[in-house]
Amino acid sequence: MRTSGRPAVTRLVPVLPFLWLGAFFLLPVLITLKISLSAAATAQPPYLPVLDWSAGPEGWGTFLEELDFANFETLANDALYRDAALSSLSLAAIATAFLLVVGTPIAYAMARAPARVQPLLVALVIVPFWTSFLIRIYAWIAILKPEGLLSAGLMRLGLIDRPLELLNTQAAVLIGLTYAYLPFMVLPLYAVFARLDPRLRDAAADLGASPTRVFWSVTLPLAGPGLMAGALLCFVPMVGEFIIPDLLGGSDTLMLGRVLWSEFFSNRDWPLASAVAILLLILVVGPLVLFREAETRRTEAAR
Amino acid sequence: MSVLNRVALGLGLTFLYAPILVLAVYSFNASALVTVWGGFSTRWYAILFADRPLIDAALVSLRVAAASALVATILGGLAALALDRAGRFAGRSLFTGLVYAPMVMPEVITGLSLLLLFVGIGLDRGIVTLVIAHATLGLGFVAVLVGARLKGLDLALELAAADLGAGPLRVYATITLPLIAPALAAGFLLAFTLSLDDLVIASFVSGPGATTLPMRLYSQVRLGVNPEINAASTLLVAGVTVIVLGATWLTGRNAAKAGPTYGA
Amino acid sequence: MSTALLSLAHVTKAFGADMALDDVSLDLAAGEFFCLLGPSGCGKSTLLRLIAGFEAPTSGTLHLAGEDMAARPPHRRPVNMMFQSYALFPHMDVAANVGYGLKGLGRAGIAARVDELLRLVRLDGFGRRRPDTLSGGQRQRVALARALAREPKILLLDEPLGALDRTLRDETQGELRALQKRLGTTFIVVTHDPGEAMALADRIGVMDRGRLVQVGDAATLYERPATRFVAGLLGDVNLIAGQVADRTGDIARVETGLGSLHAGVQPDAPGAGAAVVVALRPERIVLGPADTATDAEPNALAGHVTEITYLGDRIRHRVRMADGSEIRATVAAGGQAPAFAPGDAVALGFPPGAATLLPA
């Protein structure tokens, strides 16, 4: 219920952020779509055709005729891009599964910790989340490289007799993804677990359910939307991840984010980079919509 | 707390912190080799403080972070108010999507598309474009934090103020704003650190003369492990830890003050 | 109409397809203590919010001191509200809360007025305290002082005692009533508790599904309810369905499953042939041993006791009647053990004036 006397000012509140997001988020994506349909050129800007607004309707018509799908044909026909798309999706999916397995017990344990220490635990999870992403990935180089700490430690313990070849492999990328995105998974999950009515668990236990059954039959189903939101919050950016495959992956670890980067910075093929961006966008748009719905359901459940 | 839960927490926190601690410890290593402990030394910090390009990059980063966090806080706060208060308006669904999307959008897409916009409209790449890009990124996070706070506010507080004779502006200034202030502060800090942290978007939209700290670090990290970077990282992590713990303390105090609604 | 302080005429409020208020008309005199009583969802809170200005009526008018309030936003109405949750501003101390609505008095003037109000609610010296350091009863009194600060023409109180525990509530009822008499301010209280309404108000308005079904003092509502809903809301009542056979003066004879019953009626009551319900309070029934029944009582009935419940101040009997229906009858306990045991045959009687005829 709202007051009857809301001033007209409140109706103007959305205008400023709306204009900003339209200009600096929506419009850029549309421009990217347009450039993905252009051809590369050695010019400034390095693509053709360039839309000249002053050319009038006739000029715009010519502009439209010159647009083509050549970049997308390249993406479809070249195995490099197909493989990159597939490995982006599969690495992100596997890492999401890892995150669920690793993150759920941590989040659950946080929610069951004494109320006094919970804010501290949350802060402890947030600190790495706010700490430079680049640095946290960089730290793993020192751990994973053949003469690094992990191999040295395991060799000293006598568990292995030769240094591990972990750095520059897909395994290293998966470790990096799981590590870097763990706080993104734990925090929403913790929020869900912490909000669950403890009386529901008590009621289930009172009716004879073992702690294991309580978890699987009551806690987890109620946490469903939160799990979904957490998983998608991690999955979507991981599909387009650049830093992790670049620093921890080998030259054979192709992910779309990295392909886009090299098309843009190394090959200076802006239209092809744009086409990769659009492909990436198409891959994540489904999960993005799902994420919004999970979020809406989650916040509505919280009301 | 059960043993199982303790183990889960212990392992989880170890996993999160071990790599960072390794960095911190080896930043005091006299030896330049990662696996060899050459005794305690602060030489890498001395080298770090003499690294003029790195310090310049850090200053650029701080300026961009402060400016973009300010813009993100204002716009994000307005967006949260709009989503919570403005009821139905034309394009509401699109607006909601636009607020949330930049948070999860792969950074390479955001970076590339913003660059294409800046080139398209002929805006020279540099500090300004960095601020615009980072403000867009931070806006959504501020909106989410402020939105959660607004949702938790007892609507009766604002009605009570109106009932006691306060016009809409006075209600906003004396009731709404003070009560969402902690969320705005937290949002500012988050937007600030996001900006400070960003490599990918900055790489696209920054131009010559506007190299940020992550860009500078990245160019060195690509060459391999380097004790000077360890030292820089340790300082960054320490700074962030202080900010987060401070913010936790602050919001904890404010949450106690703002409290849940009394009675019913 | 012109003498009324508050005058609502045919006020209707719809939320989509829901009728929260349905053609409500009500006049209130200055200095009255009025209570809106009804179950949750009956529209009483909506009516209160409408008077405060937080809602606009879908149709109908609202006049305060002769002035149409339609275009007046809440902050320009000479009406203040004490909220159910109290809505104390958590970031301000007690003095700032109480003084929030005061204007044009200067710093010292406001401080003096705040002190005066805190004395009024017996919270002297609490000015610097934060709301979250106060007990429930203290918060309630801060909210009261804050709402009285601007000397409103009408004070609206939404479930003012709802958050207090039992003993505190009884005590506060008395204080609230005394305060209202002393200040002479018109109070409108919303409550779902009939006991509270009867203890507080000069007049009570009973609401049922958006309609104001009856307005009157506590005795009228209890003894002469207008509908079965009002009768049941204010206390336990036996409802016996029947048909009016004839009327002699102010007494009607009603044919029911229990035989002919005589009940007192108002002049405007339904005539012969009308389907009615005889409403009879359990404590108005005279209960005696089976052999004491006399034909002299116009309403003499017989039955068997099925259950006896000792309630401290009274004893409730459930009596199975000849037609299988059940009548509840209570007698004052008076320190005696119950006179009957389950299975006993008993005689029941009541004077015609104890029963009321209600539309079926």
The ipTM estimated for the assembled molecules is 0.85
Same domain, C224 and C256: no
Residue of B202, B222, B224, B231 lying closest to B214 (CA atoms): B202
> Is C220 inside a domain boundary?
yes
Same domain, B145 and B32: no
Chains in touch with C (3+ beta-carbon pairs under 8 Å) read: A, B
Q: Is some CB atom of chain C closer than 8 A to the CB atom of A251?
A: no
> Is A222 inside a domain boundary?
yes
pLDDT tens digits, residue range B159-180? 999 999 998 889 989 999 999 9
Which residues of chain B make contact with A131, given a CB cutoff of 8 A? 20, 197, 236-237, 240-241
Same domain, B23 and B82: no
**Alpha helix locations (H) across B50-126?**
52-85, 92-104, 107-121
Same domain, C188 and C265: no
Same domain, B20 and B78: no
Q: Mean pLDDT, to the nearest integer, of B232-252?
A: 78
Residue of C302, C318, C309 lying closest to C338 (CA atoms): C309
Q: Which CATH number do you get for residue A287? A: 1.10.3720.10
Q: Mean pLDDT, to the nearest integer, of C102-122?
A: 92
pTM, rounded to two decimals = 0.80
| Other residues' Cβ atoms within 10 Å of the Cβ of residue A75 | 21
> Is C1 inside a domain boundary?
no
CA distance A285 to chain B (A): 9
Residue found under tokens 């007990």 = C135
Same domain, C191 and C281: no
Same domain, C170 and C313: no
Judge contact between C90 and B179, C-beta under 8 A: yes
- Give me the number of domains chain A comprises: 1
Range(s) of the domain holding residue B16: 1-41
> Is B187 inside a domain boundary?
yes
**Lowest model confidence (mean pLDDT) among A83-87, A297-301, C230-234:** A297-301
Residue that finishes a domain, picked among C196, C229, C262: C229
Same domain, C257 and C113: no
pLDDT tens digits, residue range C15-65? 888 889 999 999 999 999 999 999 988 999 999 999 999 999 999 999 999
Same domain, B6 and B82: no
Same domain, B15 and B116: no
Same domain, B244 and B142: yes
Give me the pLDDT at residue A173, please: 94
- A4: nearest CA in chain C? C55
Which residues of chain B make contact with A280, given a CB cutoff of 8 A? 106, 108-109
Same domain, B108 and B173: yes
Residue that finishes a domain, picked among C175, C198, C229: C229
- Give me the number of domains chain B comprises: 2
> Is B141 inside a domain boundary?
yes
Estimate to the nearest angstrom the gap between the alpha carbon of A231 and the chain centroid: 9
Q: Is some CB atom of chain A closer than 8 A to the CB atom of C56?
A: yes
Same domain, B80 and B16: no
Cross-strand partners of C247: C252
CA distance A6 to chain C (A): 9
Percent of chain A at pLDDT above 90?
28
Same domain, C206 and C247: no
CA distance A7 to chain C (A): 10
> Is C311 inside a domain boundary?
yes
Give me the pLDDT at residue B260, please: 36
Range(s) of the domain holding residue A175: 80-302
Same domain, C225 and C303: no
Burial of C344 (C-beta count, 10 Å sphere; 0-12/13-18/19+): middle
Which residues of chain B make contact with C76, given a CB cutoff of 8 A? 165
**Portion 155-214 of B in contact with A at CB < 8 A:** 155, 159, 162, 168, 190, 193, 196-197, 199-200, 203-204, 214
Q: Which CATH number do you get for residue C318? A: 2.40.50.100
Say whether pLDDT at A303 is over 50.
no
Which residues of chain B make contact with A32, given a CB cutoff of 8 A? 109, 112-113, 116
- B150: nearest CA in chain A? A303
The CA distance from C256 to C270, in Å, is 16
> Is B127 inside a domain boundary?
yes
| Other residues' Cβ atoms within 10 Å of the Cβ of residue C225 | 23
Say whether pLDDT at A3 is over 90.
no
Same domain, C191 and C100: yes
Residue that finishes a domain, picked among C177, C212, C229: C229
Same domain, C198 and C147: yes
Same domain, C69 and C30: yes
Same domain, C71 and C201: yes
**Portion 126-185 of B in contact with C at CB < 8 A:** 154, 156-157, 159-167, 174-175, 178-179
Among C81, C113, C150, the strongest candidate for a mutation testing the B interface, having the largest count of B CBs within 10 A, is C81
> Is B112 inside a domain boundary?
yes
> Is B264 inside a domain boundary?
no
Q: Mean pLDDT, to the nearest integer, of B231-244?
A: 84
Say whether pLDDT at B243 is over 80.
no
Same domain, B193 and B250: yes
Q: Is C87 in contact with B162 (Cβ distance < 8 A)?
A: no
Q: Is B262 in contact with C131 (Cβ distance < 8 A)?
A: yes
pLDDT tens digits, residue range C215-267? 999 999 998 899 999 999 999 999 999 999 988 888 889 999 888 899 888 77
Contacts of C245 (CB under 8 A, 6+ apart): C252, C253, C254, C255, C260, C272
> Is A46 inside a domain boundary?
no
Give me the pLDDT at residue B109, please: 93
Q: Which CATH number do you get for residue C87? A: 3.40.50.300
Same domain, C218 and C283: no
> Residue C81 is nearest to which of B154, B163, B178, comparing CB atoms?
B163
> Is B263 inside a domain boundary?
no
Same domain, B1 and B90: no
- Give me the number of domains chain C comprises: 2
CA distances from B70 to B74, B187, C56 (A): 6, 10, 39
Q: pLDDT band at A154, cuts 50/70/90?
A: confident
- B239: nearest CA in chain A? A131
Range(s) of the domain holding residue C352: 236-359
Same domain, B155 and B34: no
pLDDT tens digits, residue range A246-298? 999 888 888 999 999 999 998 888 889 999 999 999 888 888 777 777 666 66
Same domain, B115 and B194: yes
